[in-house]
Chains A and B, each alone.
Chain A
Amino acid sequence: MADRPNPVVQLTLWRLREFLREPEALFWVFAFPIVLAFALGIAFKSRAPRTVQVGVVAGPGAEELARTLDASPQVAARVYPPGEAHNRLRNGRVALLAVAGQHVVFEYDSMRQESVVARLVVNNVLQEASGRRDVRAIRDQRVTEPGARYIDFLLPGLLGMNIMGTGMWGVGFGIVKTRNQKLLKRLLASPMKRRHYLLSQMLARLVFLGLEVGSLLLFGHLMFDVPVRGAFLTITIVVVIGALSFAGLGLLVASRTKTIEGVSGLMNLVMVPMWIGSGVFFSYANFPASVQPLLKALPLTQLNDALRGVLIDGASLAHVSPLVAGMTAWTVVTFRVALKIFRWQ
C-alpha cells in the first residue's frame, strides 16, 4: 500500500501547474498590467502645464486675434480656413476654435476637459491683452510629490482590475474547461470531496495573488516611486478579501456554464461595467450622483477605494472596514449561490 498524497495539495498543484505551463496566461497576469502601468505612467508623467492648442477661424480680424493669443506662452494659436478649423477641432488637434469679431466666439465641446481648460486660459489671455488687471496676487506651486500624481491614482486601480481579472478568469475558466471536457464528471465518479475541489481553486488563487500583487507594487515603487504607506497586514487583508470576492463571482459565473464561449461572454458582462464604473482609470465621481450608490456597491469599486486608502493614504484597517465588510458580503453571497446552483456534470 502506497502513501496517500494529500488531495487538497494535489488539486491545488494541478491548478498551479496548468497555469504555469500556459505562457499566455502568465503574460496576461504578470506582464500585461506592468506594461499598461508603464505606458500610462509615461503618458501622464507630471510636467509643466502644456500650451493650449487653439485654432482661429479665417476671416476679418483673424490674423490679429491669432497674434494676440500666440504672444502668450500658455497658448499656441494659428489661423485655419473654416473647413479645416472644424476638422481640427473634431480630431482633437486643437482644443478650441476662436472666431474674431465684435464678440469673440469660442467653439468647443464643454464635455471635453481639455477644451474647458482652453476656454479659461484663452479668455484670460484675451482679457489681459485688452487691458484687464488682476487684483489679487497668485503664486503657482506644482504638486509632484509621490502619492498625489495620476500614477498614484492609477496603480491601485490597475491592481484592483488585475485582481478582478485573474480571480474571475482563474476560477471561472478552469472550472468550465474541466466541465466541458467531462473531467468534472470523472472526478465525481471518484471519492474526491467537492469542497476540496473548490478549496483548491481558492488556494491556487492565493498563491498567484501574492506574486501578481507583489510584482505590480514593486514595479510601481521602483519605476514611479509609488508609495506603499499602509501596514503590510492591512494590505494583505484587503487584497485577500478582494480576491475572494472575485473568486466567488468567477465561481458564480462558471457554476452552470457549459462552454468556454458562454463563460467568456458572462465574464465580460460582469467585468466591463466595473472597468468603466469602478474608478480604475478615472474617478467614478465623474458619474451622476444618482448612480453613485450603485457604483459604490460594486466589488471592484470597494476594492479600488480600499487599495487607494491603504496604499496611498496609509489608512488603517478600521478606516477601510466598511469596504472590507462589503467585499466579504460579496464573497459570502456569491459562494452560497454558486454552490447552490453548481452543475457538477
Chain B
Amino acid sequence: MAEPLPIPPAAVVCRDLVKRYGDVLAVDRLDLEIQQGECFGLLGPNGAGKTTTIEILQGLLAPDAGDVRVLGLDWRHDADELRQRMGSQLQETKLAEKLTVHETLTLFRSFYRRGTAVESVLETVQLSEKRNAWVSKLSGGQRQRLAVACALVCQPDILFLDEPTTGLDPQSRRQLWDVIRRFGAGGGTTLLTTHHMEEAERLCDRVAVMDRGRIIALGTPRQLIASLGAEHVVEFALADGVPVDDAALRALPGVAAVHAADGHIRLTVARVHETVPALLQTLGERGAGLAGLTTHDATLEDVFLSLTGRHLRDG
C-alpha cells in the first residue's frame, strides 16, 4: 500500500457487559475485543452465556449494563447501518420449508442495500445444484450451509455464527469450515460460538473460553494449550480404588498438574515417554492395579477441564 492506513477500529468491543434473566446472571461483566479480519471463537459448555453474548452483539438482546461497539457503531443509534453490514446465523432458526434454496437467498438478498449475486453465494456454499430444491428436502448440512449463505449474501463485514456445526456429520462440518475460512480470507471478521473444541482449534485465530457468563481464558488455541504448562495428557483409572496421594503423582518426572475425579486421574505432562514408566513403577510399588490408561495431546477440552474441573460437554 502506498500510504499508511489508519489503524482500523476493532470489529467488536464490549466493556462490562451484563445480562440477567431473573436471578440468573447469563453474562457477568464481560470484556471482549475482536480485531477486524479475525476469526474469533467463543468456546464453552451449554449455558455458559455464549448465545446471550452473541445475541447482544447482533442487536437482538439489549444488555442490562455495559458498552457494546460493533464495527465502531452503537446499536442504540446505528441499528440499521449495523444490520446492513452484519451477517447472522442463529442457533434455532428454521428457514421456510416450502421455499427453494434460490428463493430463500433472493428473499434475504432483497433486505440489503449491497450484496453478492445469489448464484455466486450458492457456489460459495456448494449449493448450486440444489438451487431449485425446497428447503424441506435438504439435509442438515445443506440447511446449515444455506443458513450461512443467507448470512453471506449481504457481503457482511462481520459474520456471527451461533453453533454453526452442531449436529452435523464430520464431512458437513468440514465443508462449513471451508466456507468460513474463505470468508476470512476475503478480510471478513467472524465471531462463532461452539462447544466443539476441534472446531475452535482448527478454525479460530483466537478463542475465549466462557463459563458462567465470564471469560476465563483468552488466547490463540496454541497459547491456551501451552498455558497448561505441558502439552500431553495421561489419563488412568485404578482397578481396586487403592488411594494414591496426589503428592506422589506430582513428584513424577514431567508432571505439570494432577486432576482426580470419580476414580479417574489425569496428569498433564510434558513428555509422555518419561512419565509413564515412572507412573507404572510407582503404582507397582504400592500394589495398585490399573483399570485403564490412555494418553493424548492436550486440547482446549483439557484447558477447560483444568480451569473449571468440568468437561465441556457436561454443560
- Check A4 against B107 for contact (C-beta < 8 Å): no
Task: Confirm or deny: B238 has a beta carbon within 8 angstroms of a beta carbon on chain A.
Answer: no
A191 near B112: Cβ-Cβ < 8 Å? yes
Q: Scan residues 81-102 of chain B and give those whose CB is less than 8 A from a CB of chain A.
A: 83-84, 86, 88, 90, 92-96, 98-99
On whether the beta carbons of B98 and A5 are closer than 8 Å, the reply is no
Whether B93 and A186, one on each chain, are in contact in the complex, defined by CB atoms closer than 8 angstroms, is yes
Q: Is A10 a contact of B94 with CB atoms below 8 Å?
A: no
* Binding-face segment, B1-9, B26-34, B113-121, B164-172: B113-121
Given the complex of chains A and B, what is the CA–CA distance between A11 and B112 in angstroms?
13
A182 and B110: CB pair below 8 A?
no
Flag if A186 contacts B83 (CB, 8 Å): no
- Complex alpha-carbon distance, A133 and B113, angstroms: 89
Q: Which residues of B contact A10 (CB under 8 A)?
A: 106-107, 110
Q: Does A13 touch B at the CB level, under 8 Å?
A: yes
Give, as a whole number of angstroms, the nearest-CB distance from A342 to chain B. Answer: 16
In whole angstroms, how far apart are the Cα atoms of A7 and B154 in the complex?
14
Contact of A189 among B60, B106, B110 (CB under 8 A): B60
Interface residues of A in 5-19 (CB under 8 A from B): 5-7, 9-11, 13-14, 17-18
Number of residue pairs across A and B with beta carbons under 8 Å?
Answer: 83
A42 at interface, CB cutoff 8 A: no
Contact residue among A13, A17, A181, A190 (Cβ-Cβ distance under 8 Å from B83): A190
CA distance A14 to B150 in the complex (A): 15
Q: Which residues of chain A from 94 to 109 have a CB within 8 Å of any chain B CB? A: none
Contact A17 B110 (CB under 8 A): no
Instruction: Please judge, given known A-B contacts A4-B110, A6-B110, A186-B88, whether A14 and B58 are in contact too, CB under 8 Å.
Output: no
CB closest chain-B residue, reference A187: B111
Residues of chain A lying within 8 A (CB to CB) of residue B99: 14, 17-18
B80 x A191 contact (CB < 8 A): yes
A189–B80 Cα gap in the complex (Å)?
10
Within the complex, which residue of A13, A187, A189, A345 is in contact with B103, where a contact is CB–CB below 8 Å?
A13
The interface residues of chain A lying within 8 Å CB-to-CB of B214 are: none
Q: Which residues of A contact B84 (CB under 8 A)?
A: 191
CB closest residue in chain A, given B134: A21
For the complex formed, measure the closest distance between the CB of B121 and the CB atoms of chain A, giving whole angstroms.
10
Question: Is B145 located at the chain interface by the 8 A CB criterion?
Answer: no
Least CB distance, A73 to chain B, in whole angstroms: 60
A183 to B96, Cβ gap below 8 A?
A: yes
Q: Are A7 and B110 in contact (CB under 8 A)?
A: yes
**Complex alpha-carbon distance, A189 and B103, angstroms:** 19
Q: Give the distance to chain B from A110, nearest Cβ to Cβ, in Å.
A: 54
Tell me if B236 is interfacial: C-beta within 8 Å of chain A.
no
A192: Cβ under 8 A from any B Cβ: yes
> Complex formed: what's the CA distance from A191 to B58 in Å?
12
> Would you give the shortest CB distance from A186 to chain B, in whole angstroms?
4
Residue of B nearest to A191 (CB): B83
A188 to B108, CA, bound (A): 11
B184 at the interface (CB under 8 A from A): no
Decide if B98 touches A17 in the complex (CB within 8 Å): yes
Q: Are B107 and A1 in contact (CB-based, < 8 A)?
A: no
Given contacts A185-B60, A186-B150, A187-B111, 6 further A-B contacts (CB under 8 A): A1-B114, A2-B116, A7-B110, A14-B107, A18-B96, A345-B60
B contacts, CB < 8 Å to A = 58-60, 80, 83-84, 86, 88, 90, 92-96, 98-99, 103, 106-118, 134, 150, 154
Chosen A-B contacts, 25 in total, with CB atoms closer than 8 Å, are A1-B115, A2-B109, A4-B112, A4-B115, A5-B109, A5-B110, A7-B110, A9-B110, A11-B107, A13-B103, A13-B107, A17-B103, A21-B134, A22-B98, A183-B94, A183-B95, A183-B96, A185-B60, A187-B111, A189-B59, A189-B90, A190-B83, A190-B111, A190-B112, A191-B84
